[in-house]
């Protein structure tokens, strides 16, 4: 089995979000970038397939040279090879087109992407990719098994979960649940040394249109101070929720 | 050239978000000087959509679509789009719609913007406001393709009545085996309880509750309020509650009218996922807990004393207002 894990390079979850150039760009100043958490769960599941079922695991990212530390980290965690498509990932459709080329040329059976990137929250790339390539697709995937008969996936739904039977070639949009938090791996020294010797192939993007364009950003309005209610006077909270907030 | 809206239903009944996306579609159609056509799949009361500005319903009745299937549903909607020659498509942000949205996007070669929180800034160019950076920011995004898909955030635009009379036409999509290559084999879903996605009120517990044995009062509070229960990430990682209840940046998003956080510190990743809720209440014994800065109302106190009192007061309130 040949697996491609799609890695989105995103600001660390603790980052303060600011905008620059007249609020037209995300301000990367002082921001630390990491593997998108949803992709980290996917990569960890891919490692399981590598160790238990002998899968080959490649990782791909669409991004500039500044994304290389993130993709090196994926190699240090255990991916065999990396591909960087040298373009700014400004639109989900554009990114999916680039990844579709990689998947087609590489003959992958399973593509593990994330439910969404935590930066632009598009939640688009895996579904578009699957449709462009006519591969099966399971989103919000929280469990995946693959054997000779096909694939069984668990999907999170509103209010519960759903078990799905399907077959390869398959794309998933993964999230926490694919593996447990405690299964996540921090690269060790040996992994980091080995990653230096692994291939990181840079390919140029294909021509693809962008269908959406972020024109301007803004931050949420500052919040007023909290109204504190005395712990001895809980009834006052009920009163405020009913008469002031009008939510009960 | 109508605006097409996909109005979701569950066991025949429209979801609340269906009425919200219909209301949104009505707004866009007025702006564009056209009408709203809805596509419904195995829904019972199609005519009711007229109350929310839908003038035509393409009614799909098909046993094969009884269980949600993203590919088949996307293909159904795509065929309705073509039949209507619609250029603007409005969908919700439920787990199912976020599953079919990208498939539809690829089929129609349409630009898609999810998590939209307001009526379009303008329709020419077509620009919408959406959340980004896990609710730490907003983007004003232009959709430049000829066909456009807008995914409306839950509970962001609201349900608005606009009464028109809706004509109902049956619509038969052409579906084949290739639309059903993923098969649902088991659904494990809470019944008769509000879900985090749909609930007006969500009651959430954190590590401050000390252990799973203390969740009785959380469930009782939720029951009194008709609320869904949720939890912080460590609570699900520790196995105190199921993963499906984990809310936040890496869990489920919450956009309820009322969010009550009990024994939750208010870490940035937690707040990112729940800040779209309209009114936030915090109960925490540490006055320095960061959540107080993000909340509308707060009680500094021990959850084990405050929550039982709150339940009692709410019961009194309900008895008086029954
Ligand atoms: C990549 C990444 C992603 C993450 N994603 C998420 C996410 O999606 N969702 C999420 O929730 N977290 C997420 N986290 C974790 C987050 O950083 C916090 O660790 C977590 O939210 C803390 O949970 P908590 O508030 O329940 O626990 P704690 O931080 O331990 O807080 C417990 C609170 O309970 C209070 N308390 C204690 N006793 C009582 C009492 N008797 N009465 C009242 N209050 C009491 C304490 O004062 C404290 O404020 C993520 C972290 C990382 C690194
Ligand atoms: N620039 C990118 N390079 C590689 N994969 C990406 C990129 N952007 C998104 N993805 C993948 O698509 C998933 C969903 O991302 P998005 O559609 O951006 O929310 C991510 O979790 C990644 O797996």
Q: Find the CATH number of the domain harbouring B135.
A: 3.40.50.620
Chain A CA closest to residue B106: A128
Together in a domain, B170 and B242: no
Expressed as residue numbers, the domain containing A73 is 2-220
The predicted structure's pLDDT at residue B193: 85
Together in a domain, B20 and B144: yes
B193: in domain: no
Q: How far is CA B173 from CA A37, A246, B45, B104, B134, in A?
A: 38, 44, 20, 14, 36
pLDDT tens, position by position, B185-215: 999 998 888 899 989 999 999 999 999 999 9
CB B68 within 8 A of CB B96: yes
Give the CB-side neighbour count of residue A53, counting CA atoms within 13 A.
14
Q: How far is CA A63 from CA A8, A14, A97, B166, B282, in A?
A: 8, 22, 13, 48, 40
B189: in domain: no
A144: in domain: yes
Together in a domain, B20 and B161: yes
The predicted structure's pLDDT at residue B18: 97
B280: in domain: yes
- Contact state of B141 with A213 under an 8 Å Cβ cutoff: yes
Together in a domain, B141 and B13: yes
CA B102 to ligand 2: nearest atom: 17
Together in a domain, B59 and B150: yes
Give A5→chain B minimum CA distance, Å: 18
The predicted structure's pLDDT at residue A44: 98
Together in a domain, B14 and B131: yes
Specify the pTM: 0.97
CATH code: domain of residue A143: 3.40.50.620
Last residue of a domain, one of B148, B180, B212: B180
Distance CA B77, CA B269 (A): 35
Three-class SS state of B66: coil
The predicted structure's pLDDT at residue B190: 84
CATH code: domain of residue B303: 3.40.50.1220
Expressed as residue numbers, the domain containing B17 is 3-180
Give the CB-side neighbour count of residue A17, counting CA atoms within 13 A.
26
- For chain A, what percent of residues have pLDDT higher than 90? 97
Q: Which ligand is nearest to the CA of B284?
A: 1
A15: in domain: yes
A136: in domain: yes
Q: Would you put residue A166 in left (φ > 0), alpha (ψ -120 to 50) or beta?
A: beta
Together in a domain, B281 and B249: yes
Residues with pLDDT less than 50, chain B:
none
Residue with CA at minimum distance from ligand 2 atom 1: A62
pLDDT tens, position by position, B283-308: 999 999 999 999 999 999 999 999 99
- Contact state of B268 with A14 under an 8 Å Cβ cutoff: yes
Together in a domain, B22 and B156: yes
A243: in domain: no
Section A240-245 average pLDDT: 97
- A166 vs B100, B143, B181: nearest CB: B181
Together in a domain, B233 and B294: yes
Other C-beta atoms lying within 10 Å of the C-beta of residue B100: 28
The total of structural domains in chain A comes to: 1
Together in a domain, B151 and B286: no
B135: in domain: yes
The predicted structure's pLDDT at residue B322: 78
The total of structural domains in chain B comes to: 2
The predicted structure's pLDDT at residue B141: 98
A114: in domain: yes
Together in a domain, B22 and B138: yes
Which of B311, B296, B271 lies closest to A240 in space, CA to CA?
B296
Instruction: Check pocket membership of A63 for ligand 2, CB cut-off 6 A.
Output: yes
Residue A157, token pair as written in the block: 């739904």
B185: in domain: no
Together in a domain, B122 and B15: yes
């Amino acid at each position: 089995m040949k697996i491609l894990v799609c890695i989105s390079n995103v600001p660390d979850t603790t980052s303060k979000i600011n905008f620059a150039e007249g609020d037209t760009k995300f301000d990367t100043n002082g921001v630390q970038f990491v593997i998108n958490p949803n992709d980290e769960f996917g990569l960890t599941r891919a490692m399981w397939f590598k160790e238990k079922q002998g899968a080959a695991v490649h990782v791909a990212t669409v991004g500039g040279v500044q994304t290389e530390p993130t993709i090196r980290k994926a190699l240090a965690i255990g991916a065999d090879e990396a591909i960087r498509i040298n373009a700014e990932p400004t639109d989900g459709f554009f990114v999916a087109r680039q990844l579709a080329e990689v998947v087609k040329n590489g003959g992958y059976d399973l593509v593990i992407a994330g439910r969404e990137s935590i930066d632009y929250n598009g939640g688009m790339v895996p579904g578009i990719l699957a449709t462009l390539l006519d591969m099966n697709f399971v989103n919000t995937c929280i469990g995946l098994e693959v054997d000779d008969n096909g694939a069984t996936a668990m999907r999170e739904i509103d209010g519960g979960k759903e078990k799905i039977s399907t077959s390869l070639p398959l794309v998933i949009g993964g999230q926490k649940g694919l593996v447990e938090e405690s299964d996540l791996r921090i690269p060790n020294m040996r992994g980091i040394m080995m990653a230096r010797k692994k291939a990181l192939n840079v390919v140029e993007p294909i021509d693809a249109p962008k269908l959406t364009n972020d024109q301007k950003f803004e931050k949420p309005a500052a919040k007023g101070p909290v109204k504190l209610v005395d712990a001895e006077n809980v009834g006052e909270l009920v009163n405020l929720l009913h008469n002031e907030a009008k939510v009960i | 050239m109508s605006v097409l809206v996909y109005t979701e239903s569950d066991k025949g009944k429209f979801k609340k978000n269906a009425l919200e996306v219909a209301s949104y579609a009505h707004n866009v159609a007025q702006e564009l000087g056209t009408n709203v056509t809805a596509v419904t799949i195995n829904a019972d009361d199609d005519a009711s959509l007229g109350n929310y500005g839908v003038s035509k319903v393409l009614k799909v009745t098909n046993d094969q679509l009884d269980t949600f299937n993203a590919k088949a549903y996307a293909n159904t909607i795509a065929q309705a789009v073509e039949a209507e020659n619609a250029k603007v498509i409005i969908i919700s942000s439920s787990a199912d719609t976020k599953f079919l949205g990208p498939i539809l996007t690829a089929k129609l070669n349409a630009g898609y913007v999810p998590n939209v929180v307001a009526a379009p800034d303008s329709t020419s160019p077509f620009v919408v406001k959406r959340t980004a950076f896990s609710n730490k920011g907003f983007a004003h995004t232009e959709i430049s393709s000829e066909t456009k898909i807008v995914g409306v955030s839950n509970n962001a635009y609201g349900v608005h009545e606009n009464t028109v009379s809706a004509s109902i036409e049956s619509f038969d999509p052409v579906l084949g085996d290739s639309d059903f290559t993923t098969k649902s084999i088991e659904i494990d879903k809470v019944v008769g309880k509000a879900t985090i996605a749909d609930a007006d009120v969500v009651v959430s517990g954190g590590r401050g509750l000390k252990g799973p044995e203390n969740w009785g009062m959380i469930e009782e509070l939720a029951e009194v309020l008709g609320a869904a229960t949720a939890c912080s990430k460590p609570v699900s990682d520790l196995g105190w509650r199921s993963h499906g209840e984990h809310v936040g940046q890496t869990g489920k998003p919450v956009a309820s009218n009322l969010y009550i956080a009990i024994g939750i510190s208010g870490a940035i990743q937690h707040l990112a996922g729940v800040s779209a809720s309209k009114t936030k209440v915090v109960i925490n014994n540490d006055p320095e807990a960061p959540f107080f800065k993000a909340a509308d109302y707060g009680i500094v106190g021990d959850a084990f004393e405050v929550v039982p009192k709150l339940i009692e007061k709410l019961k009194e309130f309900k008895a008086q207002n029954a």
